[in-house]
Amino acid sequence: MQLSFTKMHGLGNDFVVLDCRQRPMPLSTQDIRALGHRHTGIGFDQLLSIENAAEHDDCRYAYGIWNRDGEAVGQCGNGVRCVAAWLHREGLLDLDETVRLRSPSGPVTVRLIDALTAAVDMGEPQFEPGAIPFDTPQRAERYPIELDDASLSVGVVSMGNPHAVVEVDDLHAPSLERLGPQLTAHPRFSEGCNAGFATVLDMAHIRLRVHERGSGWTQACGTGACAAMAVLHAQGRVGREVEVRLPGGPLQIAWNGPGHTLWMTGPAAFVFEGKCTLPE
């Protein structure tokens, strides 16, 4: 089977994008893992499928998301910006137009600011443990988590996918290399989580590294940036508008608190078009 694809990225968080408007997404879990391999495949953090929305839906298009390990996930902030840029390049989305797209976790509102920059309504952060899901007897701002050789204090939130946020002094501490994978796979997160390690620079600036479930350390994580801002804002550590500086570059996050949705603004980039042949 020959497959046409577009390689894209948002701040280094990279994707293979498939046009699935005319047929269902054709890849198995094994196919996705093979294509995602950095040395023997195309290489990506996530695979995105662009699909037609259901006829009764009020969304214009839908998209699917799969991590490099082949597992489907609910949301990807950098990915939705790439979807919007791809739709614009195909003549399906105008500049300054606001549209609703159907993500695996529900509708998302997107506004394309220019051909390669999008603002995305990421919905209201969900702090209820059952919505994440996270195992705890009661809700709190911070929770103690025991890892193999460390105790952490974490904030938890869902941005359509589960996140744990840990405030740290040094994002380059060697210990994070082992703590990230341990936190991602912690049994109190029944579906795993994306582990974000954040340093607050001031009320309007955060530095962040994210270890994503199914993908590992990434250059950028859009939902992780939203989660870090939401958790730290709820704790009174940052204000309503924050620049989140990831290894791949900055994202702008704005949230007015409970009862309001959170907006993320950032870039998308095209890398190349390609074709590959999968074994039958």
pLDDT in tens, 180-217: 999 999 999 999 999 999 999 999 999 999 999 999 99
Tell me what pLDDT residue 55 has: 79
Q: What is the pLDDT of residues 223-242, one digit of tens each?
A: 999 999 999 999 999 999 99
Torsion of Cα atoms, 221 then 226 then 229 then 230, to 10°: -140
Kindly tell me if the per-residue pLDDT of 18 is higher than 80.
Answer: yes
Mean pLDDT of 245-266: 98
Q: Which residues are annotated as a binding site?
A: 13, 46, 67, 77-78, 161, 194, 212-213, 222-223
Q: What is the dihedral of CA 119, 123, 129, 134, to 10 degrees?
A: -40
Residue list for the binding site for substrate: 13, 46, 67, 77-78, 161, 194, 212-213, 222-223
Q: Which of 89, 9, 80 is nearest to 269 (CA)?
A: 9
**pLDDT score, position 2:** 84
Average of pLDDT values for 127-147? 97
Architecture of domain 2-123+267-277: Roll (3.10)
Q: Do domains 2-123+267-277 and 129-259 have the same CATH topology?
A: yes
Q: Is 20 a catalytic residue?
A: no
pLDDT-based confidence at residue 279 (cuts at 50, 70, 90): low
Q: Which of the residues 20, 82, 221, 226 is marked catalytic?
A: 221
pLDDT band for 69, please (50, 70, 90 cuts).
very high
The structural architecture, per CATH, of the domain 129-259 is Roll (3.10)
Give the pLDDT confidence score for residue 278 in this predicted structure. 76
pLDDT of residue 277: 83
pTM, rounded to two decimals: 0.94
Q: What is the pLDDT at residue 56?
A: 78
- Tens digits of per-residue pLDDT, 96-123? 999 999 999 999 999 999 999 999 999 9
- The catalytically annotated residue of 59, 76, 193, 226 is 76
The domains of the chain are located at 2-123+267-277, 129-259
With 70 as the cut, is the pLDDT of residue 280 above it? Answer: no
Question: Nearest Cα to 276, choosing from 13, 10, 63, 18?
Answer: 18
Give the pLDDT band (50/70/90) at residue 275. Answer: very high
DSSP state of 130: G
Residue 76 appears among annotated catalytic residues = yes
Sequence-ordered list of residues with C-beta below 8 angstroms from that of 115, at least 6 positions apart, any chain: 85, 88, 89, 95
* Cα atoms in the Cβ-side hemisphere of radius 13 Å centred on 70: 11
